[in-house]
Amino acid sequence: MSDDVGQLLWVGFQGTTLPQELAKQLSAGTYGASILFKRNLAISTVGGGGAVTQEICDLDALVALNRGLHLAAPDGTPALIAIDQEGGLVQRVRAPATMWPPMMAHDGLAAPLDTELAEQVGRAIGDELRALGLDLDFAPILDVHTNPANPIIGDRAFGHDATTVTRRALAFARGLDAAGILACGKHFPGHGDTDTDSHLALPRIDHDWARLEAVELAPFKAAAAANLPMIMTAHVVFAALDAQRPATLSEQVITGLLRTRLGYRGVIVSDDLDMKAIAAHMGVDDAAVGAIRAGCDVILLCCNEDNQRLAVEGLTKAAERDSELRRRIGESAARVRAMKLAHAANQAKHPAPSRDVVGSFDHRRLADRLAGRA
């Protein structure tokens, strides 16, 4: 049971070097993946004094860190390394890697050029991540940006309507896949029309079912049909689906809608349970159990080591008392292991490029083209 619980818990950590305790936990199968943030990268700032400042990432240090993080559990299942590398404000790896404009830049392009460029950008980002030793990009954004007051999505989205978001985002995901990088669409069932940041509070959307089906859900329905390997949930209450619980904790939303009605067969991952949309309302041990009961396969715990331990204890103790929860944990662990095996096979088909691809002239020219500077 502990090996199965471990596959479901993916964690962040502090510092730019591999903590010994985390190495032990990954090797023991306590956690199934690590998540890198800007705080984990050795970054220096150059310029100033009238000159333009720029953040420079030590890529050698990042490669060494990733080499240490690529550990395997006792059952042989490898630990993955995940990151958010979307473009715009959300790209953890900085120069000399290519700096990408936000994905809303595609909105200045007509079809089919926007789709072709989105796939090329996904492939380029994937190649750079692959060359640096990463496995998974928490991208593309499948949210439709319909609310100018939205404080968290904005120009991270691929467009303002469901059709263009679907076309561009799934092309981006195909590019990642061709590079041997797992894609993860987010944030189900849609974060694009909120006016609250779920890092800080619990947003609520009161649209009726017809609106949700036509706008918010459409890209996720297409992602399910395209067999996207992962979809991330939103800590958002959708009143038409479940007026009481955020999507991450709602069986109606995760199992009833995403898994059953939309037919999604891949891995469902929660957004970070350390976020205040969840943490301000309940303990992470209860939240972890609630998310798995709702139908999530993976729990993200990105910041707090105490919460990571609480999640392990909460899931383990609850599973000892509840055979249905044990079944759910086993089902999710099997789905995660199958994804990891498929990922390893895909990487074997697409060998990692050399480090020369990171920040290459061709990639910088592609970024300029997307930004409209070419």
CA contacts within 13 A on the Cβ side of 369: 14
If DSSP codes are grouped into helix, strand and coil, which group holds residue 321? helix
Query: What pLDDT, on the 0 to 100 scale, is given for residue 277?
Result: 57
Provide the H-helix boundaries in 104-205. Answer: 113-131, 162-178
Dihedrals phi, psi of 206, to nearest 5 degrees: -110, 15
* Pairing status of strand 80-83 against strand 33-36: parallel
- 28-65 pLDDT, tens digit each: 999 999 999 999 999 988 876 666 788 899 999 999 99
∠ CA 215-218-224, nearest 5°, is: 155
Q: Is 271 a catalytic residue?
A: yes
pLDDT means per 10 residues in the chain (374 residues)?
A: 90 96 96 97 80 86 97 92 96 96 94 96 98 98 88 90 97 98 95 62 80 94 98 90 91 96 97 74 87 97 92 95 96 98 94 96 97 78
Residue in 107, 127, 137, 271 annotated catalytic = 271
> Look-up: residue for tokens 């120069």?
95
Token readout for 151 is 């404080």
* Pairing status of strand 204-205 against strand 51-57: unpaired
Query: What pLDDT, on the 0 to 100 scale, is given for residue 276?
Result: 67
Query: What pLDDT, on the 0 to 100 scale, is given for residue 235?
Result: 83
Domain boundaries, the chain: 2-371
**Does an H or E element contain 35, and which?**
strand 33-36
Token readout for 73 is 């559990």
2-371: CATH class: alpha beta
Residues 371 and 104: their CA atoms lie apart, in Å, by 10
